[in-house]
A and B are shown apart, each in its own frame.
Chain A
Amino acid sequence: MLNAIEKPINRRFKLWLDRRIPPMRKIMLNQKRLFIFPSKPGRWFVAVLFVMFLAAINYQNNMAFALVFLLTSVFIIAILHTFANLAGLTVSAGKSNPVFAGDMAEFELFLSRHGNKDYFDINVSWPKSELRSVSLTSTDRQKINLHLPMAKRGSFRPDRLLVESFYPMGLLRCWTLLALDVVVLVYPKPLACELAANAGTDALEEGELIPVSGSDDFYDFKQYHQGDSPKHVFWKGYAKGQDLVTKQFASYSEQRLWLEWVSVDGGLEERLSKLCFWVLKLDKSHDEYGLRLPGIEIQPGHGEQHKADVLKALAMFQLPGSAA
């Protein structure tokens, strides 16, 4: 029942918030963006004040009245001080590196002030991240690292960031919910597997073989000739009574391995995870690889940028907002 009411209200609130504080890379906190309300201790404080007020009335004690009025005024003045402890701060997003699903993503945020006024105990957190409390007293800029668990692949945009402060009296809570324009790319979780037998066959045919001694990739055996490096002699086979042969290493000028939808089996996510595993594996062995998914083709290549492109394609595959 309650849920039925709560959900539309929450949705409404989110919509309103989106209009009021639209997502930005760098946000300065001001009247429009800050909310303030008595905190839990603050509400207790009001209750204590009320009891003291009753005592003042019943004892007709003017000093007790003065005390109650003083604390009431302090409470009101504290509203301004609590507000000021966030006002004028700029929250900006730093970089955030892509991660694999199931890992923690690290987000870099910056809190900076413009003047030389001190800011104390500002709590920064996302609903599922840890809470960081920072003060800006001797520095003008503070770096904050927050970590969030990434469950699913895709591009992840964290919820609104909560920035709150109770300073100076703890009686009031000043807060804001910021939609920082930060996105982290989450790759599928790698899943170890074998490629299907037919995988990448055409790649091998097309590849032009250039045996190069000194390369790492095993290519074939050849009869042992004197002068061959003893390191490359296939001693294991010799021990089994086979002929003495030398391992030949080679590299392909263009070894094109296609990672294809059909090379792996399983459901959508499973396949993506398996492909992801192979991307990492092939990248490690400096192979060239391409990706063919329904509707997507990335020509074989290698290197960091290529790997990032392929992983991104896997991460965003068949997700809304991945039309490009």
Chain B
Amino acid sequence: MSIIWQIPRNCLGWILVAQFALILPHIERLPWWVMAAYAVCASWRVMVYQGRWSLPPKMLKLVLAVLCFFGIYQTYGTMVGLEPTVALLFSGFCLKLLEVVEKRDVYVIIFLAYFVALTEFLFSQDFLVSAFIFLSILLISTALVALHQHSYDTLNLSSLKKATVIFSQALPLMAVLFIIFPRFDPLWKVPLPSHQAKTGISESMSPGDISNLSQSGELAFRVVFDGEIPARKDMYWRGLVLSEFDGRTWTQAQWKKDFLTESEKESLLGAMTNPLQYTVYQEATHQPWLFSLALAYAGDKTIKAVNDFRLVRTDNIHSRIKYQVISDQEAMYGQTLSRIEKTLEVSLPRTGNERARKFAEMTYSRSTGDRDYIDKILTKFNRENYVYTLKPPLLGEDTIDEFLFDTRRGFCSHYASTFVFLMRAAGIPARVIAGYQGGEINPISDTVLVHQFDAHGWAEVWLDGDGWVRIDPTAAVAPDRIEYGLENAMAEEGSFLSDTPLSPLRYRNITWLNSVRLQMDAFGYYWSSWVLQYKGERQLQVLQSLLGEVTPWRAAALLMTVSSVVLLIVFGHLIKGRGEPKAAVYVKWYLRLCRQLEAAGYVRDASEGPIDFARRVDRSNPQWKKTLLSATRSFVRLSYEQVSQREQSLLVKQLRRDVLSIMYQLRVK
């Protein structure tokens, strides 16, 4: 039979729905023309199905394929990597839509769709995103079911229902597999999302840099303290140490890239007297910087300690990571400073910012010492007409001079930069620290949330005998920023998150909205720590509580038990009402009689009625005449006549008695 196979309308409809659902989470990442291509291909396909258009010619499809390749290469500059691969998969999706001729092609599209769904998890595993992706997987499976329901000719919800039933039955099995399956180490290195914009603190700091970050309500990282959460004003999350200045921008010094050796790292731990343990869950930044309180130690092998007492990861962070840190805020660090270090930490550009240099020399000469000088500078910021603002005026060539003497309006970067300049100008080793300050405590999960708007810049000054000392000039101008956070500090100006009017963080003063936000955040945290980070130690703990002792045999036994229970229940449910209905009692008795007679040589013809049969048997065996005929009559009455309940039970009894008596006679014979 050479009837041309047609993709069922029901199936095509569900494929289009599923593809649309798959594209949604990628909208931000995919180039716009992939969306456009999808829209065109999908509408073309619909037109083909309605019989208005025909499928595009081979040549056109080839041209489209080449265009897609070219477009992806243009957008990403390469064909390898995660983003180009995803874009390629989506282009394949679009083009395959115009090529579905056989049933096999539909399978290709659907399996491709499953794979695309998986790639979405590499970008985000947040609860809402994950839930949505699983919904699209359900839709893909619906299309697969619809492919095998040729009897429907429009989009039919029964396909979705069937897929949902299968999914819900699969859930318990999936849960057990998820819980017991061991998480291996990666087998080989794979491309990570690398074509993403870097987020968070950047490697350098110019005036105004950090104020950009202040407009973002995104979570930078979350901290869970083992003990009590320190006061907000004490939480200075060091990320980068900036020691080189070119008159405008602070950058990391080249020589600062030296990592501590393992033994030096261990000695840090020994120096701590009041250790503070906490875990940081850091979001992807696509940069290697980690954030920790002063004097930090991390045992993780993928984390290095730098000689300026901060932590750096060996690779860029492309997905949410978790690391444990031990810190001691009171411990001294950098007690001794080598000559070279000292020289470098006081170096300034040869020229520029002359007014500031003179001011520094003058003030320092009038001071009794380093500490007095520092106080004098901080007092200047505090007493004089300096303003802490998210909207500082633009600065020209001599940034320090202009800010210090003319504009006097700036954000933390202005104050930190100026303060360090003044220190160095007076010969005191100093440097700028970029990181985050403070954080919001979510009382539900008892964790500290550090948002991008908590980004901050401050200074560290080296004092003989004290080592590196943290000084935050912003605190002198706007103590509210340190005590209560940016929102309070900017209350008058009204510039807090003014670029993102929809951010729920802006509405923290609306109680119920804020509690919803905190609930969702806490849920996100538990989701991340219990589901997304379910591996290693945590998995072992859960398995131990489930199995007692963790052995492969016990795990297999758990899997077998759950799956056999689930499968049995599902099977019973499925098979119910599919077999032949049970015969009534009297039919069973009559059939038994027939079987007995058959064994004795009396076979009932297919066309012979029961009464005729009984008569025929009687002719050769008159001794049964009464019983056989009576049994047959009871059977016939029960089958074809309307009898009352009481009569029915009497008849059945009579039938049974007769049958048993005939069987007895047959035996005796």
Contact = CB atoms under 8 A, between A and B. Distances in A.
Contacts of A65: 178, 181, 183
Contacts of B535: 60, 62
B646 interface: no
Contact of A130 (B1, B134, B166): B1
Contacts of B666: none
Contact of A59 (B122, B133, B177, B531): B122
A248 to B, nearest CB: 49
Interface in A20-64: 28, 30, 41, 44-45, 48, 51-52, 54-64
Contacts of A96: none
Given A60-B186, A61-B125, A133-B150, A78 B166 contact: yes
Interface string A51-91: 11011111111111111111111101110110110011110
Nearest to A72: B177
A88 B580 contact: yes
A14 interface: no
A130 B107 CA distance: 24
A81 to B, nearest CB: 6
Given A64-B122, A77-B170, A120 B148 contact: yes
A70 B170 contact: yes
B615 to A, nearest CB: 26
B166 A114 contact: no
B571 A135 contact: no
Given A48-B111, A58-B187, A76-B173, A67 B121 contact: yes
A121 interface: yes
A15 to B, nearest CB: 27
Interface stretch (B139-147, B387-395, B504-512, B545-553): B139-147
Given A61-B121, A77-B169, A137-B151, A131 B1 contact: yes
Contacts of A114: 577-581
Contact of A28 (B162, B173, B184, B580): B580
B141 A169 contact: yes
A71 B174 CA distance: 8
Nearest to A166: B148
Contacts of B571: 80
A160 to B, nearest CB: 20
Contact of B173 (A73, A87, A115, A131): A73
Contacts of A89: 578
A12 B149 CA distance: 36
Nearest to B127: A63
Contacts of B150: 120-121, 133, 135
Contacts of B169: 77
Contacts of A133: 150
Nearest to B165: A81
Contact of A45 (B111, B133, B166): B111
Interface stretch (B112-120, B278-286, B412-420, B585-593): B112-120
A169 B111 contact: no
A60 B121 contact: no
Contacts of B596: none
User: How would you classify the secondary structure of chain B's contact residues: helix, strand, loop or mixed?
Assistant: helix
A69 B115 CA distance: 14
A169 B144 contact: yes
A57 B147 CA distance: 31
B565 interface: no
A66 B173 CA distance: 11
Contacts of A59: 122, 186, 190, 192, 319
B484 interface: no
Nearest to B606: A25
Nearest to A30: B579
A100 B487 CA distance: 95
Contacts of A90: 580
A81 B170 contact: no
B188 interface: yes
Contacts of B144: 168-170
Nearest to B150: A121
B577 A60 contact: no
Contacts of B532: 62-63
B575 A88 contact: yes
A120 B151 contact: yes
Contacts, number: 174
Contact of B118 (A55, A73, A116, A130): A55
Given A67-B137, A70-B167, A170-B148, A116 B577 contact: yes
Q: Pick the most buried of A63, A80, A87, A131: most chain B CB atoms within 10 A of its CB.
A: A63
B563 A76 contact: yes
Contact of B130 (A63, A117, A137): A63
Contacts of A52: 114-115, 118
Interface string B181-217: 1011011111010000000000000000000000000
Contacts of A69: 173-174, 177-178, 181
Contacts of B115: 48, 51-52
The interface size bin for chain A is 35 or more
Nearest to B189: A58
Interface in B554-604: 563, 567, 570-571, 574-581
Contacts of A71: 114, 137
Nearest to A118: B158
B171 interface: yes
B357 to A, nearest CB: 53
B525 interface: no
B534 interface: yes
A258 interface: no
Nearest to B571: A80
A90 B104 CA distance: 30
Contacts of A57: 183-184, 186-187
A278 interface: no
Contacts of A81: 162, 166, 574
Nearest to B125: A63
A113 interface: yes
A167 interface: yes
Contacts of A68: 118
Q: Pick the most buried of A30, A80, A87: most chain B CB atoms within 10 A of its CB.
A: A80
A66 B530 CA distance: 13
A94 to B, nearest CB: 15
Contacts of B183: 57, 60, 62, 65
A44 B110 CA distance: 11
Contacts of B534: 62
A121 B148 contact: yes
Contacts of B145: 167-169
B578 A54 contact: no
A40 B173 CA distance: 24
Given A62-B531, A63-B125, A80-B567, A167 B577 contact: no
Interface in A130-164: 130-131, 133, 135, 137
Interface in A96-132: 113-117, 120-121, 130-131
Contacts of B125: 61-63
B187 to A, nearest CB: 6
Interface of A: 28, 30, 41, 44-45, 48, 51-52, 54-74, 76-78, 80-81, 83-84, 87-90, 113-117, 120-121, 130-131, 133, 135, 137, 166-170
29 contacts: A28-B580, A41-B104, A41-B107, A48-B114, A48-B115, A51-B115, A52-B118, A57-B183, A57-B184, A58-B190, A59-B186, A61-B121, A63-B121, A63-B125, A67-B118, A67-B137, A68-B118, A70-B170, A71-B137, A72-B174, A72-B177, A74-B167, A80-B571, A88-B579, A114-B581, A120-B151, A131-B1, A168-B145, A170-B107
**Cβ-closest 10 pairs across A and B:** A88-B578, A115-B577, A73-B170, A73-B173, A69-B177, A84-B574, A135-B151, A63-B121, A167-B148, A130-B1
Given A57-B187, A69-B174, A77-B567, 19 more contacts: A41-B107, A55-B190, A58-B188, A67-B114, A69-B177, A69-B181, A71-B137, A73-B170, A73-B173, A73-B174, A74-B141, A76-B173, A81-B162, A87-B578, A114-B581, A120-B148, A121-B151, A137-B151, A168-B145
